[in-house]
A = this chain, B = another copy of it.
Amino acid sequence: MLINKIKAEISEMLSEIFDGATIMVGGFGEAGSPIELLHGLIDNGAKDLTIIANNAGNGRVGLGALIGQKQVRKVICSFARSAKGITFPELYNNNEIELEVVPQGTLAERIRAAGSGIPAFYTATAVGTPLAKGKEEKVFNNKKYILEEALYADFAFVKADVADRYGNLTFNKTARNFNPIMCMAAKQSLIQVKKIIEPDKTNPEHVITPGIFVHKIIKIDNPIIETNAIEEGMIYP
Using CB atoms and an 8 Å cutoff, list the residues of chain A in contact with chain B: 109, 113, 116-125, 138, 140-141, 143, 145, 149, 170, 173, 204-206
The answer to whether A119 touches B122, judged by C-beta atoms less than 8 angstroms apart, is yes
The answer to whether B116 touches A109, judged by C-beta atoms less than 8 angstroms apart, is yes
Interface of A is mostly: mixed
Name A141's contact: one of B119, B141, B205 (CB within 8 Å).
B119
Chain B residues with CB under 8 A of A141: 119
21 example contacts (A-B, Cβ-Cβ < 8 A) are as follows: A109-B116, A109-B118, A113-B121, A117-B123, A117-B124, A117-B125, A118-B121, A118-B122, A119-B122, A119-B140, A119-B143, A120-B121, A120-B122, A120-B138, A120-B140, A120-B145, A121-B121, A121-B122, A170-B205, A173-B204, A173-B205
* CB of A137, distance to nearest CB on chain B (Å): 12
Q: Once bound together, how far apart are the Cα atoms of A140 and B120, in whole Å?
A: 9
Name A149's contact: one of B124, B140, B204 (CB within 8 Å).
B140
* CB of A229, distance to nearest CB on chain B (Å): 26
Chain B residues with CB under 8 A of A118: 109, 121-123
Q: Once bound together, how far apart are the Cα atoms of A150 and B208, in whole Å?
A: 25
Q: Which residue of B lies closest to A203 (CB)?
A: B206
* CB of A204, distance to nearest CB on chain B (Å): 8
Chain B residues with CB under 8 A of A119: 122, 140-141, 143, 145
* CB of A134, distance to nearest CB on chain B (Å): 16
Q: Which residue of B lies closest to A176 (CB)?
A: B205
Q: Once bound together, how far apart are the Cα atoms of A170 and B205, in whole Å?
A: 9
Instruction: Name, among A117, A125, A140, A170, the residue most crowded by chain B CB atoms within 10 Å (CB to CB).
Output: A117
Q: Once bound together, how far apart are the Cα atoms of A205 and B55, in whole Å?
A: 24
Known: A119-B140, A121-B122. 4 other contacts (CB 8 A): A109-B118, A120-B138, A120-B140, A121-B121
